[in-house]
Amino acid sequence: MSTESIIRCAALGTGGALVGGLLGGTKGAIGGAVAGLAACAVIEYSSRQTKTASEVDREYKAANRNRLPPAAKIDSYSTVVTPNAPVKAGDTIKVNSAIRAVSGAQEQVTEVKEVLVAYAPSGDEFKRGEKIVSSTPGSGEYDNSFSLRLPQGAPQGTYKIKTQVFLNGKPGATRESSVQFARVNGQPGLVMVAAASTTTDAGVNAQ
């Protein structure tokens, strides 16, 4: 970890006071907290293929008069955020996604990617992670997961977590969830709240 990152982590542990004091005022305190989150929060990811190209193509054709779509498409995209219970700062918030991509008659699936963006209570983006989940061209079904850990001293408030799937470099459906960082039995912790809105782009069937 760089010296700058260590300073930001130290500032975060004291509510952003150190970096905030350098920046000045309320805006400085917010900037210090976001800088600390960016330096200290951790995102890890993993993925695995759960169905082969032939399995996905066969299932799609069986449900669509023995035809593939004209162009490559994300046939389904669903996410689950866990735990749905209070956790302590430093514990893991996990976003699990199930993604099914189908090659079209005129366009093959060449890449499936998922991107996660985390936003601080101020609304500022503080962490981003992305993972190419497809290992070879062609249809496939995949499980992908992002694990986000907020450090000790993270600001209280509502954190937004947004994920989006990309097919062949083009953006597709998004999913948004929120977590509320508050005091639980007198101790700082995270409380899951209801998932927010979902946006489905053209050409993507999402669940």
| Nearest residue to 163 (alpha-carbon basis) of 99, 105, 67, 88 | 99
CA torsion angle 120 122 125 129 (round to 10): 10
**In sequence order, which residues have a C-beta less than 8 Å from that of residue 24 and are 6 or more positions away?**
none
If you average pLDDT over every residue of the chain, what do you get? 79
Whole-number pLDDT of residue 109: 98
Please write the tens of the pLDDT for every residue from 121-133: 889 999 999 999 9
The pLDDT of 8-37, averaged and rounded, is 51
pTM greater than the 0.85 cutoff:
no
Whether the pLDDT of residue 57 is over 90: the answer is yes
Give the separation between CA 161 and CA 123, rounded to whole angstroms: 11
3-state SS of the chain: helix, strand, coil percent to 5?
A: 20, 45, 35
Give the separation between CA 82 and CA 206, rounded to whole angstroms: 20
The pLDDT of 41-51, averaged and rounded, is 92
3-class DSSP state for residue 79? strand
Give the separation between CA 119 and CA 174, rounded to whole angstroms: 15
Whether the pLDDT of residue 55 is over 50: the answer is yes
Q: Of all residues in the chain, what percent carry a pLDDT higher than 70?
A: 69
Please write the tens of the pLDDT for every residue from 63-72: 999 999 999 9
| Nearest residue to 50 (alpha-carbon basis) of 5, 97, 18 | 97
